[in-house]
Structure formats: C-alpha cells, structure tokens
C-alpha cells in the first residue's frame, strides 16, 4: 500500500515567550510534514468526491495499528476518536505525540479491547490536524488549504475510512467503536455500510444533531471567527504567538463547559477563588482558571481550522438524511450493537442514546455509565465502560 513520508525540513521551534514564561505557540498546533511521525503511518487514498459536490483531489489518512491481523482477517477493530482526539489511542507521549493515548484504559494488552486478541486500527479523521488531509495540509498548489478547504460531512469522513479499510485489505470490521464525534462516525459506518460492520459500540453520541446542540456548536465557531488572528482561515504564515489562539481557546472553554456536569463543577470548584486572587478586584474564580487552562492546552496541540471543519460535520450530522429519517436509517443496521450513555451528559443527553438503542434491530438494551463527570464520563469512567465493552466482546 502506498505510504506518504515527510520530506520537508521541520518547522523551527517557537521563539520568544509569553507573559507566563512559556514559549509562544505557533499559529497552528497541527502536525506538519517534517515533524516526527511517531507511530503514525500514512495512506494515500486518491481523490474523494464529497457529499456537497466538491472534490478533494488527494486524500491522506494518518493511522496507527496495534496487535496482529489473524489469518481469517476477521479480528479487526476500528476505533474512532472524538473532536480533538487523534490516532494515538494508546501509548506513551513522545516525539510526534505530545500527549499519551487518550483511551489507553480501553485499548491495549489485556485491556477490554485486548490487542493480544484484536487488530486495532485508529485513523486521524479526515479534516483533522494530526497527519490526515485537512485545512493545515498542503493543497495541490503547495500552500496550506486554509479557507479553501471544502466543507465535509460525517459521511465523507467514513468514505475516506472505508478507503483505508480497502487499502489494508479489510472487508469487514469485527467491531467499530467510537465516542462523541467518533460515535457519530461509528454509527454512520453501521448505517451506511452495514455489510462491513459486524459489531458496533456507540458511546455518548447521537443519530441526529438537535437544535440545542447546533446552537452550542455555533457559538464555538463564532468565537474562532471573531478572533482577528483567524484571518478568515488563512493564518498559517503568521509568526509564532499571532495565530487565532484567543478564538480557539475560547471555543474550547465553551465546549469544555458542556463536557462536564454542573454537579461536578460545583463540587470541585464552587465559588472558590483562584489562589490568592480576589474576584471582586478583577481576579478569577478557580473554575475560570480551569477553563482557561484547557483552552491554552488545546491551542498548543490543535488547529483552529480543523476545529471549525470538524464542528461543522457535527452540526450537519444526520444518519437519516436521504434515508427516510433516523428510524428508517437505524433499521438498516445489521450489526450487534452496544449503545452506552452517561447519565449526567448534557452535551449528548441519554435520551439520544436511547433512541439509537431502540432503533437498531440487534442492539442490546441501553447501558448507562453513572458519573458526575458529564459527557467526559466516557473517557473518565474507565472501569464502568471497560466492563461493558469487555462483556460485549466476550460474547462475539
């Protein structure tokens, strides 16, 4: 299978420092050609016609694998990441991977998705910024796509992942698993290509984005667009420290508030001040500092245009579009299915998972994670989710 290799020199390290003494972040936190590849492999998959009529002239997906494909080629598992995730599902941080694996509690030797039994594949989503084709990658003219990058849908992303499966010689997946935005893609796989999916695990996700969810996602897009550093999406040549950091950081703060529950934030922070700061004299509450911290972390490892692109795919997500509606689409799923919700999730409320479980013919009854952590419970509550997944895969 053709693979892509980095052939240009690495970008220089950021120069200077901010007021906190940390190095100023580059205009984009995207992985770029010339950066250490880490465990990534790259598949060049050709041109892709998009749902909206546009065409990407060349698609590349970065991906990682663990375990061994068996002789029958029937033990492959596809793991799909959420909005700001990537292909590094499990493994240590290191060159090319600024953070450790984001779902190491679920995937690995002896884990619920045991890499001693399963051949696990995890791609960076089309439109992402960690090696796959996206706004930060080079267009045919050699410049970053930037504002010219076309609008994608979840169906386009799954079409690219199907190309990857073809390139790897995988006709079917024993299991497709994803949470949040990854759950949207997992569900689209099972609806749109039922013959290729034998098992489905959809966690804390939905079949169709609601008006309330669109409203919350819209505010994040507006925060990025309002940042002068965004420059309409063409900021990649800006000097270090001058990218759309304020807008992306604010978008992350808005999102992170929806990822956690009111009960957890009240119990953890309440009205406590941040250190010695006095809120009545212009200081911050601890919860404000917490949100700012998460905004700053994302700015240093992500790309604003990818955030916009992927958020738009979530806004337009609807498995029932042109399929007779959601229930008709879910009825097409032939896979055994495990649908999991988090009881305190205010981003993807449990009722949306219940709709999925009720609509898939071979779905088990809805399973519930009990957690004060809100939507992030699908990442935090490793023991609960792991037990559910292990029991589900044990009955294969």
Catalytic-role residue among 156, 227, 318, 345: 345
Backbone region of residue 221 per phi and psi (left: phi > 0; alpha: psi in -120 to 50; beta: other values): alpha
How far apart, in Å, do the first and last CA atoms of the chain sit?
A: 30
Q: What is the pLDDT of residue 22?
A: 73
Q: What is the pLDDT of residue 20?
A: 57
Beta bridge partners of residue 61, listed in sequence order: 43
Which band of pLDDT confidence, cut at 50, 70 and 90, is reported for residue 396? low
Rounded to whole angstroms, the Cα distance separating 33 from 47 reads 20
Q: Is 180 a catalytic residue?
A: yes
Lowest mean pLDDT segment, chosen from 16-30, 90-104, 183-197, 308-322: 16-30
Residue 90 per-residue DSSP state: S
> Domains in the chain, start-ordered, CATH in brackets?
41-209+318-394 (3.40.50.1820)
Q: What is the pLDDT of residue 21?
A: 59
The catalytic position among 97, 245, 256, 375 is: 375
Q: DSSP strand E in 228-352: where?
A: 336-342
Map tokens 């034998």 to a residue: 198
Coil, strand or helix at 190: helix
Q: Average pLDDT of the chain?
A: 94
Of 23-27, 71-75, 214-218, 253-257, the range with the lowest mean pLDDT is 23-27
- To the query of whether residue 293 is one of the catalytic residues in this protein, the response is no
62 φ/ψ angles, rounded to the nearest 5 degrees: -85, 145
Strand ranges for the chain from DSSP E: 41-44, 48-49, 55-56, 60-66, 76-80, 107-108, 113-114, 119-123, 175-179, 199-203, 336-342, 367-369
Which pLDDT score is estimated for 12?
Answer: 37
The residue assigned the tokens 């493994």 is 91
Query: What is d(CA 203, CA 353) in angstroms, rounded to the nearest whole number?
Result: 8
Give pLDDT, residue 207: 98
Integer Cα distance of 52 and 313 in angstroms: 12
**pLDDT number for residue 5:** 31
Of residues 180, 258, 261, 344, which has the active-site annotation? 180
Whether 261 is catalytic is no
| Res 82 pLDDT > 50 | yes
Query: How far is the C-alpha of 42 from the C-alpha of 339, rounded, in Å?
Result: 31
């Amino acid at each position: 299978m053709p693979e892509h290799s980095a052939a240009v020199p690495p970008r220089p390290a950021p120069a200077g420092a901010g007021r906190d003494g940390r190095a100023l972040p580059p205009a984009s936190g995207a992985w770029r050609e010339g950066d250490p590849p880490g465990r990534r492999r790259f598949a060049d998959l050709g041109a892709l016609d998009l749902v909206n009529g546009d065409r990407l002239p060349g698609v590349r997906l970065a991906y990682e694998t663990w375990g061994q494909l068996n002789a029958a080629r029937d033990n492959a598992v596809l793991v799909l990441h959420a909005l700001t995730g990537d292909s590094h599902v499990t493994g240590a941080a290191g060159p090319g991977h600024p953070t450790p694996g984001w779902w190491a509690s679920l995937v690995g030797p002896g884990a619920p998705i045991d890499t001693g039994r399963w051949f696990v594949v995890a791609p960076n989503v089309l439109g992402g910024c960690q090696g796959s084709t996206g706004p930060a990658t080079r267009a045919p003219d050699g410049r970053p796509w930037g504002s010219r990058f076309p609008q994608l849908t979840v169906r386009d992303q799954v079409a690219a992942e199907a190309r990857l499966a073809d390139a790897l010689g995988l006709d079917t997946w024993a299991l497709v698993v994803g949470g949040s935005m990854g759950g949207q893609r997992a569900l689209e796989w099972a609806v749109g290509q039922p013959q290729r999916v034998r098992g489905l695990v959809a966690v804390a996700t939905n079949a169709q984005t609601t008006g309330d969810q669109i409203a919350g996602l819209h505010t994040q897009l507006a925060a990025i667009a309002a940042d002068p550093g965004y420059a309409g999406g063409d900021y990649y040549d800006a000097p270090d420290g001058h990218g759309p950091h304020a807008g992306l950081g604010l978008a992350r703060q808005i999102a992170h508030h929806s990822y956690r529950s009111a009960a957890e934030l009240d119990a953890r922070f309440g009205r406590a001040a941040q250190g010695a700061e006095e809120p009545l004299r212009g200081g911050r509450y601890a919860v404000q500092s917490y949100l700012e911290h998460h905004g700053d972390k994302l700015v240093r490892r992500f790309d604003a245009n990818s955030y916009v692109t992927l958020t738009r795919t979530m806004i337009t997500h609807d498995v029932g579009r042109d399929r007779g509606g959601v229930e008709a689409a879910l009825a097409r799923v032939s896979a055994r299915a495990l649908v999991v919700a988090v009881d305190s999730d205010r981003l993807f409320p449990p009722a949306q998972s219940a709709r999925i479980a009720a609509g898939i013919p071979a779905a088990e009854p809805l399973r519930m994670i009990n957690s004060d952590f809100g939507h992030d419970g699908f990442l935090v509550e490793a023991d609960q989710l792991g037990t559910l997944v292990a029991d589900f895969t044990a009955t294969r």
